[in-house]
Structure 1
Amino acid sequence: MQLPTPSICRHVPPRYPQLGDCDFYHSQILPTGEVIGQWDLRPSPDTYLGHVDFNGRNVLEIGPASGFLSFHMEQAGATVSCLEPSMSHLWDTVPFPGVDADAVRVEFANHIERIRNSFWYCHALHRSQAKLFEADPCNIPSEMGDHDVGVLACVLLHTRSPFSLLESLSRRVTQTMVVVDNYNAALGPEPVCRFMPNPSIRQFDTWWQFSPQFIVSALELLGFSEARVSYHAQKCEHQNAQVPMFTVVASRRQRFDQHPAASA
């Protein structure tokens, strides 16, 4: 088997942006008392993350956005490392025909830069010790080290190659994977995914919908054979709706010669 070319990993030092330089993906209470953000996960972050016990565990989170979950896991006792692609790559945008792809990527990059500013704004607000790294999420370098828990919270739908991302993260996770995504009951109980891009709907950042069983089966193939699925709904301010979601928590089966892992 040909191994992927090692990717470059860069530790991103903290920065201190102004509020006006930020776009908030996750809702945040500002020092003024104002609540701002697209996704309000504040009522039930533990439900969103599958009620995993993070105390004393090392977590690798891919795509933290504004960092709400990063800081929640940290406050629950975790040591958190976050990984984003470099600004030169970003996430995969859908190449619609007849669209100026370069112009789309410039606009997308500006938006992502403002979301990353919101991560650092909240990082300072929470006095967080979470670290942020830049590397190829589909080829996470070994220098990132091993982590107890890997988290992919509504990230897979934004990537062209979701299994590659799952496989990459699984190489760096020793115990438990947490995967959250949108739930479409019409996909049924089988391990299937639905290709989302449609030329009539110019949504540049969404590729897939997954059935929960797709995630369960993929993680089982990667060695995480003990899985549970939970369902919940989260408030999206842009849609003014409660969006149905699912969470898969999958753990590696422990051999008899291994010490028991921390509870999932």
Structure 2
Amino acid sequence: MLRLIKADFYRLFHSKGFYMILIAIIGLAGSVVLSEAFTSIGVSTETSAVMEAYGNAVWTPEIALKGALSSSSILNYLFIGFFVIISGYEFSQKTYKNTLTAGVSRITFVLSKYFSQLLTVILGTMLYLGSTFVFSFIKYGMDNLQVGTLLQDIVFATLSISFCISVILSLATILLISFNSSILATIFIAIYPMLIQIIALITKWSELKYFDFFSLAQNMALNGLTGKALIPYILISLGLIACSIVINAQVIKRKEF
């Protein structure tokens, strides 16, 4: 599995698109700090009011981090590039067959793709929140700031956001493998956040919030979601990831070679 993950990262590091995405991530972090504005995609009225209150407050590094978290749903669209580089090309061009015929088991192959995507998303998210920290340090300084606590919050937020995004990428991989279409998979990644919120708005089914992974970062930043309140999100995420890995392995197994 490690050999497959190394191969994915070799392809990433030798792709110009990878570095363009990293630059865009840094630019997004800089825009949050420079504009001192809370922006996001598809938020509730209640959350919008909290965002407006923070937006009108005197900004500090702590508020800058909250602003970055509230805007983190935009990362979803940037990470589509990672998804395409790691998995999209290989499945759409059917070159994955070469790896499987070399003796790699299907479940190992699928797991390697999941961990490659997860590690890349962690890298991108850490770069985003880390850049926000650096830009806020330059702009606001660190007077009366608990740097250790802020860094702990950045690490925790990075892992939480990355894990949730990896769920969406895992689900999108089902479409990618089933139809050998990176276009269909990327469309799913792009519309998933809005689709879940629209369905929740129409059905009034409150349990759908546990599938609204991109609002999780907003709730962590604006509503103090932490501790035991995160357990349902974690359990559902683990369940979806496990199901997607099994389904992907079975779909590959049933494909004709």
Q: TM-score, normalised by structure 2?
A: 0.29
Structure with the higher helix share, 1 or 2 = 2
Largest Rg, 1 or 2: 2
Structure scoring higher RCO (CA < 8 A, sep ≥ 6) equals 2
Structure with the higher strand share, 1 or 2 = 1
Q: TM-score, normalised by structure 1?
A: 0.28
